Structure 1
Amino acid sequence: MTLPTPVPPLDVPDDLLTPYVLGRAAALGDRPALVDAASGRALTYAALDAGVRALAGGLVARGHAPGDAVALMSPNLPEYAVVFHGVAMAGGVVCTVNPTYTAHEVHEQLVDSGARLLVTVPAFLTTATEAAAGTAVEQVVVLGEVPEGSDAVPLQQLLGDRLAEQVPVGQDAVVALPYSSGTQGLPKGVMLTHRNLVANVAQTQDILGAGDGEVFMGVLPFFHIYGMNVVMNVGLVTGSTIVTMPRFDLAAFLQAHERYRVTRSFVAPPIVVALAKHPAVEGVDLSSLVQVVSGAAPLSAELAAEASARLGVEVVQGYGMTEMSPVSHFTRPGGYRAGSVGVAVAGTEHRVVDPATGEDLGVDADGELWVRGPQVMKGYLGNDEATAATLDPDGWLRTGDIGHVDADGYLYVVDRLKELIKVKGFQVAPAELEALLLTHPDVTDAAVVGVQDEQAGELPVGHVVLRAGAGSDADAVRAWVAERTATYKHLHRLLVVDAIPKSASGKILRRVLRQELAG
């Protein structure tokens, strides 16, 4: 049973990714497309168009065939878009790699993807070279100066005559291969096609409504699907200027907003925490902002309201996952509802299914969210078993997330199915307790995981970061939570830590916390 959505249908453009995203690039000329926040170094739309065509031409000249994979392991910088779209225009597959991975982790991804080239930056060249050994990688390529004695080559050596037209491939050809653990298990290559990414760029812009020539904050990593498609590709298709940052630093982040007059800031919940609570925000001119968009992890209604009140703009969230390119739900301008991740984007069906029985549930009933639409992945690379476990024969994607849809079509996500803590038969959502902890005046960050217990089955354990000079300790915060929750939700233990481990996209690394507790 498909649940309602108020968003009207949308005709998905019948284009390949790069011709669609960069269709106006040459005409936009000297307008800055991407700007490095720290240095101010800008890549204009004309230069981006020329660079993409030159790289595509060079790849074709060296025998790069449609479907060949190129691994891209780099922090955010203007040239990221040149490599990404140069490979796409040559008919290739961009395998995005987290640059903070160890050589072992990168090696595993290179082996799985079969990448023939690995593009990186000087700071990660040692890791890249070690990781490439014993893989199909024929050449390590550097964005920047190549250190003396290295066998790597600069990107300039790959450039050739500018390619006039996109190398012909089908719309269902894979163009991006980010890696995701999905609903369970080890990281897997998510096969995203031209149709997937074009559809989701169009769907996101349809509901975002960004104006021509806005300024997007590009601090979220482009190797992650959120930064790649929502920030980089939506930004480029709208003719916006994207301000890139290689990593998050609050002072530099705020300075970039002032300097470049950022209109839309795309963030993850940890950054919202800083915007809501950190004293450094006081006195910073953020008047250019029209919206803050949070994604990649749950954001509580209380925290969104606190940040919104402080900044004077809507702080909204969307919902998605790598396997959905990534957006399936988004908050329409002026359509904010406390605790909701918004409505299904155009062309997207959603249903809520009982995880135990597989039966469809109605409005306001909690169950597993299933999604179907043109943005849903082709499958996992070389892993039919995992694909079948995630996609049903009718194209429905089982998200592994628990939530409900109200009568107006607004989705409320409760938590991950696999992360629910079962206490004496009762389900405890870590996100619920984390949201509560973040409302405590002395708590700046929080995470909750379950630990095995012989009698209860599992018990929740909290981890918090306390603000400097906090008047509360672990016992006081734990008692405060107990006053506000049912008995089965009480924290079995509360640990004060220096930082909550998170992925580059802002998701809490619960497995790390579980491993530390087990140790």
Structure 2
Amino acid sequence: MAEIQGGPLPFIPDDVTVPQFLLDSQHPSRPVAINADVSWLIDDSTGRKMGYEEICSRTNSLANALHLRWNIGENDVVCIFSPNHMDYPAMIWAIHRLGAIVTAANPAYTVEELVHQLRITSAKLILVHSRNVDTALAAARAVGISPQFIALVDLLPASAPGGADFITVPELIKEGSSQPASFAERKLAPGEARTKVAFLSFSSGTTGLPKALIIPHYALVANIVQVATFMNGDTRPMESRRFRPGDVVYAALPFYHVFGLAFVMHSLLFYGHTLVVVPKFNFVDMLKSIERYRINVLPTVPPMFVLLCKHPDVPKHDLSSVRYIHCGGAPLSGELTTRLAQTFPHIGIGQGFGMTEAFANTMTPLGQHVCTPGAAGVLIPGLTARVLRADGSVAAYGEPGQLVLRSSAMALGYLGDEKATKETFVDGWLYSGDEVTVNEKGELFVLDRVKELLKVRGFQVAPAEIEGYLLQHADVADACVVSILDEYHGDLPLAFVVPSMSAQARIKRDPAQADAIKAELVKHVADGKAYYKQLAAGVVLTDAIPKNPSGKLLRRILRDRARGMWKNGELSLGVKAKL
């Protein structure tokens, strides 16, 4: 099998920032001119609409206030710690107007996890949602950020202690709009967008704690053009096309995550879609929103897809407006695809494959109403791919190997981690860590991960991060985290633990202590890690962790053991599908 090509691209400007490209310019791949009368955003809970002119005004006013109040400027890092919000795009673009850098944090993070992100990125300012303010304050104290460098995305309830101490983003926008412009917008020289940093986005990498990827403005601009060029390849009459300017999109996928950030917020807005902004996903509420706003496009991850197949409330709602469901974040089983297609024959179903290191990479061919079961689509324009065997040679069609990509939309590397950068980005190629096959139609099938990552509800989880946290506990001598597979959650972490000598002595005296220790270790991880990193499949106590002569964990042995135990009914889940 030779290299796979995704097709040609139009010119990609390399002298503009992300907001300059999205808000201030027209590009041949953009299907319609910016229309001031069209709503860009709709608040799911209130129905409030926000159009182009208001977004531009809020972006520029906020940039002015950030510069006036905190002197945010060239290469300063601002952390956004919030669920989806109507001002999330304006916050990103205001920071970029100043030449500063965005690092968006998962609002489910614990204090320890946020501390890691703030410390790695050297963040100067935190924009935080009121529901996350306690975590932000504790993390800020730990890294030496003054409370005066924290602003609230929304209004803090009056009853909350210290509520008056924080200025809010709406107040900053009002403040910035009332003052003369205090900054000159950052302009880029030709070629500078290729290296000018826009985002420090976190990916689990292969080992240890999450790593900050250095993403330049050019990478996101390139991916917007890649996605738009793919969509423009649909030459059917407009009423038959999958993506149409003016479509209404359900935007519940988190904006801090690459799927929500690049595809939903940027590519779909660029293509003329309207986003219904949802802070927190709830399935029944989604069904109601589809009816209320006549949603046309549903970007989903597999747990949402499962609920569409199985939730008892689905038949109670009118979903006739939905024309296309796009699933990403983790592989989707062929069985679920077939089931949903049978339930909703009028809805097109597609899959995509992407990664923080290179944004969106594949999408289902435009001519397919329903994706090939198990396939993640074909390469979008501007990408080249190889499938490599373990010895580095190119695999044949249908033969498994590691997916290696070349794209204009690639990150520059990992911040402060030269080793990981050299392992992942090699001579202009991105080594994905995903084991795949490609058929003769160019369709990609994701089989497994070469890198030892888990995908829990679409989120990347590095087993080594959980293992390191377990090893801090006095009852743990050694640990190995693997997963069992669940159709709703994806990978569910399970820890094999070798008890410490003192724990073994307690178990010997009282065998009931084994269950108490397992429960304590589950709680230990639950207290210190985000919900999707918890030991949902529990803890198994074992005598030893298998390793090779060099000391590397033989994870596959324990993974096979765990899945055998699950199949035989020896494990029970500690989580249920969130409806």
CA distance in 2, matches of 1:212, 1:115: 37
Task: State the Cα distance separating 1:212 from its structure 2 match.
Answer: 1.7
TM-score between both structures, scaled by the size of structure 1: 0.81
**1:4 and 2:4 correspond:** yes
Is 1:93 the counterpart of 2:112? The answer is no
Q: Which amino acid aligns with 2:187?
A: P
Give, in whole Å, the separation in 1 of the partners of 2:268 and 2:559.
44
CA distance in 1, matches of 2:184, 2:337: 45
Larger Rg: 2
Residues 219-262 of structure 1: per-residue CA shift (max 9 Å, x gap): 11001111011001112212321111111111111111111111
Instruction: Give the counterpart of 1:157 among 150, 172, 183.
Output: 172
1:149/1:6 CA distance change after superposition, 3 Å: closer
TM superposition shift of 1:145: 2.2
One-letter amino acid of the structure 1 residue matched with residue 172 of structure 2: Q
Amino acid at match of 1:378: L
Q: Distance in 1 between matches of 2:308 and 2:215?
A: 33
TM-superposed CA distance for 1:492, in Å, is 5.5
Output the amino acid matched with 1:19: Q
Trace 1:124-135 onto structure 2 (pairs within 5 A).
Answer: 124-135=132-143
Structure 2 letter corresponding to 1:114: S
Contact 2:17–2:218 at 8 Å: present in 1 too?
A: yes
Equivalent-residue separation in structure 2 for 1:318 and 1:399 (angstroms): 15
- 1:499 aligned residue: 575
Distance 1:72 1:447, change over 3 A: closer
Cα RMSD (Å) of the superposition?
Answer: 3.0
Moved more, 263-272 or 161-170: 161-170
Q: How does 1:22-101 map to 2 (within 5 A)?
A: 22-23=23-24, 28-61=35-68, 62-101=70-109
Summarize the Cα distance change of 1:12–1:353 in structure 2 as closer, same or farther, 3 Å threshold: same
Match of 2:402 in 1: 368
1:89-109 CA distance string (max 9 Å, x none): 221111000111111211111
Q: 1:128 to 1:348 in 2, by over 3 A?
A: same
Secondary structure of 1:361's aligned partner: coil
Secondary structure, in 3 states, of the residue corresponding to 1:323?
Answer: coil
Contact 1:182 1:323 in 2 (8 A): no
Q: Does structure 1 retain, via aligned residues, the 8 Å contact 2:385–2:403?
A: yes
Instruction: Give the corresponding residue for 2:474.
Output: none
Offset from partner CA, 1:412-435 (integer Å, 9 cap, x none)? 1101114599xxxxxxxx99x84x
Paired letter, 2:224: V
Aligned mates of 1:290, 1:53 — CA distance in 2: 35
Name the structure 1 match of 2:351: 317
Secondary structure in 1 aligned to 2:308?
A: helix
Q: Is the 8 A contact 1:178 1:322 kept in 2?
A: yes
Separation in 1, partners of 2:21, 2:490 = 41
Q: Is the 8 A contact 1:16 1:195 kept in 2?
A: yes
Q: Which residue of 1 aligns with 2:509?
A: none
Instruction: Describe how 1:130-209 pairs up with structure 2 within 5 A.
Output: 130-135=138-143, 137-138=145-146, 139-146=149-156, 147=160, 149-150=162-163, 151-155=165-169, 156-157=171-172, 159-160=175-176, 161=180, 166-169=185-188, 170-171=192-193, 172-209=195-232
Summarize deviations over 1:276-334 as a string: whole Å, max 9, x none: 1111111311111221011111101111121122223122110011111x111111222
Distance 1:27 1:404, change over 3 A: closer
Compared with structure 1, are the counterparts of its residues 153 and 368 closer, same or farther at alpha carbon in structure 2 (3 Å cutoff)?
same
C-alpha spacing 1:162/1:251, structure 2 compared with 1 (3 Å): farther
Q: 2:385 aligns with which of 343, 347, 350?
A: 350
Say which is worse superposed, 103-112 or 61-70, in terms of deviation. 61-70
* Partners of 2:577 and 2:357 in 1: CA distance: 23
1:497 is displaced (CA, Å) by 2.2
Q: 1:70·1:119 contact (CA, 8 Å) conserved in 2?
A: yes
**Equivalent residues in 2 for 1:410-421 (5 A)?**
410-419=443-452
CA distance in 1, matches of 2:545, 2:72: 55
Where does 1:95-494 land on structure 2 (aligned, <5 Å)? 95-135=103-143, 137-138=145-146, 139-146=149-156, 147=160, 149-150=162-163, 151-155=165-169, 156-157=171-172, 159-160=175-176, 161=180, 166-169=185-188, 170-171=192-193, 172-209=195-232, 210-312=243-345, 313-324=347-358, 326-335=359-368, 336-355=371-390, 357-392=391-426, 394-419=427-452, 434=485, 438=487, 447=491, 457-460=557-560, 491=567, 493-494=569-570
Tell me the distance in 1 between the aligned counterparts of 2:361 and 2:182.
Answer: 34
Cα deviation for residue 453 of structure 1 reads 7.9
* Number of equivalences: 459
Mapped partners of 1:352, 1:145: distance in 2: 50
Q: Contact 1:19/1:166 (CA < 8 Å) preserved in 2?
A: no
**In structure 2, what is the Cα distance between the partners aligned to 1:350 and 1:66?**
35
Render the CA deviation track for 1:54-111: whole Å, top value 9, x for unaligned. 1122333442222111000011111111101111122111100011111121111111
Matched residue, 1:426: none
Q: Secondary structure at the match of 2:126?
A: strand
**CA shift in 2, pair 1:490/1:222, >3 Å:** closer
**What runs of 5+ residues in structure 2 fail to find an aligned partner?**
27-32, 233-242, 455-481, 497-543, 547-553
Alpha-carbon distance, 1:41 to partner = 2.4
Contact 1:5-1:343 within 8 A present in 2 as well: no
CA positional deviation for 1:182: 2.0
Percent same amino acid among aligned pairs? 30
* Partner AA of 1:233 in structure 2: H
Alignment check: 8 A CA contact 2:489 2:577 kept: no
